[in-house]
DNA sequence: AAAATAATGATTGAAAATGATTGTTTTTAC
DNA sequence: GTAAAAACAATCATTTTCAATCATTATTTT
């Protein structure tokens, strides 16, 4: 049985059931456990399902289609863990903002909450959210090609139509003195506005961002809660004096 | 067995199955593995199948291409001609609005003018414009999945930040009494706003749209100039009493 | 018929996919 | 809480598939 066939079989199993065990899949496909595990990893990275202990689960209410590239290894383990933790914070009926960037993109497949509304400045994010059957709004603004983000006054202006329960943002630097920073002032303006308009702002970042400082200031450390993969004990102690840290993989 | 015969055989195999292994094809055709591989490469380049490790798979019909391939058959000759004519109207330093929909998508590749700014409510349009190095802005608003358009008050609100030299819109109906119409009221609102904010609004439509009338009113006939492929002499005479018509392929 | 071109099949080392095994992590049972 | 069991990611050797090359065989063209 070909890889593509197995992938199709797996996704078919998930069309009917909410979750499926690995053993069921090895029987359905005749492949070994290792192979099925690899398949699940691939499919998860493509955003087509969600891995759970013991097997895999549906990712969306609506469409399960190969609409994104077959194999994008965009998400590191750390980003996935942080994304998962972040997604678990979204509750039914929430209105959330999701920033552009791969870090926040990783959280979208894990969203389980029902009946939520999402606003995003990310181009890919917008499509991915809509494909999951989530009511998705774009901010508007100029499409910055390098980052695939909608930025500028157009995006800020678009944001001002909304109010959020939660906002999930990526940043480039988290610094004790400089606070949250990013190299692009236009993007910084969008992020700042989003934090302003959210009751609970969250910053998603990996360990490498701590004690880094880039050009444009977004907000002060205490203005948001940090969600991260795993960070050194020392870093954690240093920063948690100033703001909350939610550490996945700890 | 002739090359053409093999190609037909291979495509036939794929009509019944989702994927087919190379070994199956060597048996079905009597050709060597090398030959089959070459066939698959050819057929993939023609867009008739997709190669996968171990064989070939059907092309999913609803696949969205990130950028338009060299020779995509998505656009009819008529749409292309209309798109070309529309694109030729865009001048250097113009600020233009480009509506969502395949008709307007067809004009983007033909844009030659330098230093222009484009605002669009189309999801694919936004990416395509940016890929062409055109400064591209999205309107914002809810992503309507079926049409891949940004709609609703968010989009209208976004539009109100801009003023256009020219606007290019697609419609579903062009009717002497009903004017320009479309089935979706939310999209109609966006189109109406765009026409309001453009010095020169253009409607792109093929012959089938004339004397059709759908639910939601966008604007009156005289509010815009019609760009179309080729339409019957009689239709042309009927409508040019009310508004200008630019006919490509005439 | 001779030469030029195209199609084919075999061979090769490289790349990808696979299944077994390892030790670790998570869950479950107590 | 701990211990056993199940599930896991990581690694390895093996197998399969692959693209590139070459020599051979058809098919044109001259």
How far does the CA of residue A137 sit from the closest CA of chain B (Å)?
A: 4
CA A203 to CA B118: how far, in whole Å? 32
Please tell me the predicted confidence (pLDDT) of residue A156.
96
> Is residue B68 within 8 Å of B109, Cβ to Cβ?
yes
% of chain B with per-residue pLDDT over 70? 91
Task: Report the domain count for chain B.
Answer: 2
Q: Which residues lie closer than 8 Å to B70 by C-beta, 6 or more apart?
A: none
Query: B221 falls in which pLDDT band (50, 70, 90)?
Result: very high
What does the pLDDT average to over B38-50? 86
Residue A60 has pLDDT above 90, yes or no: no
Do A136 and A238 belong to one domain?
yes
The three-state DSSP-derived secondary structure of A61-97 is: CCCCCCCCCCCCCCCCHHHHHHHHHHHHCCCCCCEEE
Evaluate if residue A101 carries a pLDDT over 70: yes
Q: What angle (nearest 5°) sits at the alpha carbon of residue B143, between those of residues B142 and B148? A: 150
Is the CB of residue B64 less than 8 Å away from at least one CB of chain A? yes
Query: What DSSP letter does each residue of A132-150 carry, written as one string?
Result: TT-EEEE--EEEETTTTEE
Confidence tier at A77 by pLDDT (50, 70, 90): low
Mean pLDDT, residues A191-217 taken together: 93
pLDDT for residue A70? 31
Both B53 and B98 in one domain: the answer is no
Q: What is the pLDDT of residue B93?
A: 92
Whether B233 and B147 share a structural domain: yes
Compute the distance between CA of residue A188 and CA of residue A218 in angstroms, rounded to an integer: 5
Cβ <8 Å between B136 and A143: yes
Instruction: Work out the minimum CA distance from B5 to partner chain A, whole angstroms.
Output: 25
Longest dimension (CA), chain A: 57
Q: Does residue A101 sit in helix, strand or coil?
A: coil
User: Any idea which nucleotide's C1' is nearest the CA of A23?
Assistant: D7
| Burial zone of B166 (CB within 10 Å; 0-12 exposed, 13-18 middle, 19+ buried) | buried
* Interatomic CA distance for residues B148 and B68, integer angstroms: 16
Q: How far, in Å, CA of B43 to CA of B202, rounded? A: 40
- The answer, for B21 touching chain A at a CB cutoff of 8 Å, is yes
pLDDT given for residue A58 in this prediction: 85
- Strand C nucleotides with an atom less than 7 Å from a protein beta carbon: 7-11, 16-21, 26-27
Nearest CB to B158; choose among A135, A140, A145: A140
* Residue A23 C-alpha from the chain's centroid: 29
* Per-residue pLDDT at A250: 55
A51 vs B137: CA distance, rounded Å:
36
DSSP code of residue B150: E
**ipTM of the complex as predicted:** 0.58
Averaged pLDDT, B1-12:
90
How far apart (Å, rounded) are the C-alpha atoms in residues A151 and A106? 20
Q: Which nucleotides of D are covered by protein (CB under 7 A)?
A: 6-11, 16-21
- B54 versus A68: the higher-pLDDT residue is B54
Q: How far apart are CA B64 and CA B79, in angstroms?
A: 19
Q: How far is CA A246 from each of CA A88, A90, A156, A175, rounded to the nearest angstrom?
A: 12, 14, 28, 17
User: What is the rounded distance in angstroms from the CA atom of residue A109 to the CA atom of residue A112?
Assistant: 8
Is A146 within 8 Å of chain B by CB?
Answer: no
In angstroms, how far is C15 C1' from A76 CA?
A: 23
Using a CB–CB cutoff of 8 Å, tell me whether A199 touches chain B: no
Residue-range definition of the domain harbouring residue A33: 3-57
A70 lies in some domain = no
Residue B82 in tokens: 């209309």
pLDDT, position B250: 54
The alpha-carbon gap from B175 to the nearest alpha carbon of chain A, in Å, equals 32
CATH of the domain at B89: 3.40.50.1360
The reply to whether B181 and B126 lie within a common domain is: yes
On whether residue A64 sits in a domain, the answer given is no
Question: Do A49 and A127 sit in the same domain of this protein?
Answer: no
Report if residue B204 sits inside a domain: yes
Residue B148 has pLDDT above 50, yes or no: yes
Is there a single domain that holds both residue A119 and residue A163? yes
Q: How far apart are CA A166 and CA A168, in angstroms?
A: 7
Residues B208 and B242 in one domain: yes
The answer as to whether A172 is a domain residue is yes
Residues A52, A88 share a domain: no
* pLDDT at residue B46, as a whole number: 73
Based on the domain organization, do A82 and A50 belong to the same domain? no
Residue A65, in any domain of the structure: no
> Is the confidence at residue A33, as pLDDT, over 50?
yes
The verdict on A49 and A83 lying in the same domain is no
Q: How far is the CA of A250 from the C1' of D2 (A)?
A: 22
If you average pLDDT over residues A31-59, what whole number do you get? 90
Three-class SS state of A212: coil
Mean pLDDT of B229-240: 82
Q: Are residues A37 and A92 both part of a single domain?
A: no
Q: Provide the shortest C-alpha distance from residue A202 to chain B (in Å).
A: 23
A128 with A198, same domain: the answer is yes
Looking up tokens 């798109």 gives B83
pLDDT at A72 (0 to 100): 38
Q: Is residue B98 part of a domain?
A: yes
Q: pLDDT band at residue B44, thresholds of 50, 70 and 90?
A: confident
Which residue of B19, B137, B150 is in closest CB contact with A142? B137
Measure the CA–CA gap between B154 and A119, rounded to whole angstroms: 11
CB contact under 8 A, B18 and A5: yes
Within a domain: residue B227? yes
What integer is the mean pLDDT of B209-221?
90
A24 with A55: CB under 8 angstroms? yes
- Asked if the structure places residue B154 within a domain, the reply is yes
**Length in residues, chain B:** 250
Total residue length of chain A: 250
Q: How far apart are CA A222 and CA A243, in angstroms?
A: 5
**Residue B226 main-chain phi, psi, to 5 deg:** -95, 130
Question: Which residues in chain B have Cβ-Cβ distances shorter than 8 Å to A4?
Answer: 18-19, 52-54, 57
- Where on the phi/psi map is residue A115: left (φ > 0), alpha (ψ -120 to 50), or beta? left
Average pLDDT over residues A34-40: 96
pLDDT one-digit tens code per residue, B169-190: 999 999 888 999 999 999 999 9
Q: Is A139 on the interface with B (CB under 8 A)?
A: yes
Contacts of B37 (CB under 8 A, 6+ apart): B22
Q: Average pLDDT, stretch A61-90?
A: 60
Q: Is B18 on the interface with A (CB under 8 A)?
A: yes
Judge whether residue A66 has pLDDT over 60: no
Q: Beta strands of B22-61 (E only): which ranges? A: 50-52, 55-57
Q: What is the CATH number of the domain that holds B38?
A: 1.10.10.10
- Per the structure, the residue whose CA is closest to nucleotide D16 at C1' is B54
């Amino acid at each position: 049985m070909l890889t593509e066939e197995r992938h199709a079989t797996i996704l078919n199993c998930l069309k009917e059931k909410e979750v499926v065990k690995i053993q069921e899949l090895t029987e359905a496909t005749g492949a070994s456990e290792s192979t099925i595990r690899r398949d699940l990893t691939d499919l998860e990275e493509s955003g087509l399902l969600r891995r759970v202990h013991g097997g895999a689960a549906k990712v969306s209410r609506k469409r399960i289609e190969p609409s994104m590239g077959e194999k994008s290894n965009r998400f590191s383990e750390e980003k996935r863990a942080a994304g998962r933790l972040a997604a678990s914070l979204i509750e039914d009926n929430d209105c959330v903002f999701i920033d552009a960037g791969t870090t926040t993109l990783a959280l979208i497949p894990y969203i389980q909450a029902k009946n939520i509304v999402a606003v995003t400045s990310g181009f890919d994010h917008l499509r991915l959210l809509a494909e999951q059957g989530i009511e998705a709004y774009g901010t508007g603004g100029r499409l910055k090609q390098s980052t695939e983000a909608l930025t500028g006054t157009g995006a800020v202006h678009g944001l001002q139509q909304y109010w959020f329960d939660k906002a999930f943002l990526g940043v480039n630097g988290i610094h004790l003195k400089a606070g949250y920073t990013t190299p692009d002032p236009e993007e910084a303006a969008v992020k700042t506005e989003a934090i302003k308009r959210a009751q609970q702002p969250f910053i998603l970042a990996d360990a490498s961002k701590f004690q880094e400082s880039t050009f444009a200031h977004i907000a002060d450390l205490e203005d948001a809660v940090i969600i991260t993969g795993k960070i050194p004990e020392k870093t954690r102690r240093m920063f948690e004096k100033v703001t909350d840290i939610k550490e996945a993989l700890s």
